[in-house]
Amino acid sequence: MADTSAEKPVLMVFSDDWGRHPSSCQHLVRQLLAEYRVLWVNTIGMRRPGLDRSTLGRGWEKLGQWVWGPRRPASWPANLTVLNPWMWPSFGTPWARRINRRLLLGQLRPPIAACGSPVIALTTLPVVADLLGELGVLRWVYYCVDDFSQWPGLDQPAILAMDEQLVRRADALVAVSRTLQDRLARWGRAASLLEHGVDLELWCGTGVTAAPECLDRLERPLVVFWGLIDRRMDVDWLARLAEDLTQGTIVLVGPRSDPDPRVDRLPRVVCCLPVHYEELPGVAREAAVLIMPYADLPVTRAMQPLKLTEYLATGKPVVVRDLPSVHGWADALDRASTAAEFSVAVRRRLAEGLAPGQAAARKRLEQETWAAKARTLERLALVADPSACGGEVRCDGG
């Protein structure tokens, strides 16, 4: 593909730290980097400051970024510039928001001015709400990936206030689920729907990496979850499955963020440390069934788990909580509404494997690649002329 970046606006992205974990925003932007120059802004998180190990470790990591800057691997695309602006570690008070507004404006205006081209700002985070109308970009796009005001451990009142401000003032809104579309509509705004894609080459390719050593000595078959292990997980469902299994291991792979303490006391349940994203296909290869035992909560009803299409692409049976995010793939997996139904479905798939009808339904994944999703995002939100927006995107800035 020819490099046409000089003909297009520069894209400034506010999201999770580049390269820290493979978010949907990073998947999309990787597809656009051949044609767009990208200023990726690493920001602080939205958790309340605390003295726990996780918060202190993350604070030390951010301090290192601010002082020494990010390490730039040779694999980073030439069109990508990663910015690490200094920020105050809170948005919980008007004073803290004013400090961060001043810090961000002072540090981001110079690179915008140096671009020599119009800049479009894309954010997945509501913490930039105070920058709208001040930063000097052509337009703001809110790519809404979650209802962060419902996330456990976050500064929920502050996030809700910033989220509403961002929704009302952004030039274009894009949501990853119909539940989030409905949420944004309550503030009088319509958003385009852009559900998550999948990297079929990674999940269906022949070069699958070896499984991590933590799986070596576990009793088979393996029932596997990967992702953040936190309070969104329904421990009662895990307990029922663990009680009903006569052999095998339930494996939870990923970082921990204040999970229910009962997780560590359940028989047949083993928590593994996080593995690199590229190692997850190796984890999937060792699994007999993949699970998403989320609790039915406002936060889980709003989310669109990135792992859903990844699970489906592995060719393994998938058993999940019956939440809105899975309805579009109901014919490709098993849904459960109770702990008993969940246990029955998992044990049935352990005995029978993937149902032929579910395997056939997953052929739709061929139309759900990240490359296709990136082109949709470009059409809906990244055009330089707001009047050219399509779909349901509202372009008048509220």
Helix (H) or strand (E) holding 76: none
Check whether 82 has a pLDDT greater than 70: yes
CA distance 188 to 206: 47
Residue carrying the six token digits 């044990």: 347
pLDDT-above-90 percentage for the chain: 77
Check whether 69 has a pLDDT greater than 70: no
pLDDT tens by residue, 307-317: 999 999 999 99
CA distance 36 to 349: 44
CA distance 393 to 114: 29
pLDDT tens by residue, 146-193: 999 998 878 889 999 999 999 999 999 999 999 999 999 999 999 999
The answer to whether the peptide bond before residue 221 is cis (omega within 30 degrees of 0) is yes
Give ranges for CATH 3.40.50.2000 in the chain: 5-197+369-388, 200-365
Which is it for strands 38-42 and 119-123: parallel, antiparallel or unpaired? unpaired
At residue 394, the pLDDT reads 34
Check whether 76 has a pLDDT greater than 90: no
At residue 92, the pLDDT reads 87
Write the Ramachandran bin of 292: left for phi over 0, alpha for psi from -120 to 50, otherwise beta.
Answer: beta
For the segment 119-145, the average pLDDT, to the nearest whole number, is 96
Q: Kindly list the distances between the CA atom of residue 396 and the CA atoms of 33, 101, 169, 329, in Å, as whole numbers in the listed order.
A: 27, 24, 9, 34
pLDDT tens by residue, 324-368: 999 999 999 999 999 999 999 999 999 999 999 999 999 999 999
CA distance 234 to 17: 28
On the 0-12 / 13-18 / 19+ scale of CB atoms within 10 A, 297 is middle
| Contact (Cβ atoms closer than 8 angstroms) between residue 82 and residue 66 | no
At residue 392, the pLDDT reads 38
At residue 397, the pLDDT reads 32
CATH of domain 5-197+369-388: 3.40.50.2000
According to DSSP, the residues that pair with 119 across neighbouring strands are 10
Check whether 233 has a pLDDT greater than 50: yes
Calculate helix-pair angle for 370-381, 24-32, nearest 10 degrees. Answer: 80
Residue type, 62: K
What the block records as the tokens of 362 is 């997953």
**DSSP string for residues in 81-106:** EEE-----S--SSHHHHHHHHHHHHH
Residue type, 346: V
User: Would you tell me how many other CB atoms lie within 10 Å of the CB of residue 348?
Assistant: 15
What the block records as the tokens of 263 is 């997780």
CATH class given for the domain over 200-365:
alpha beta
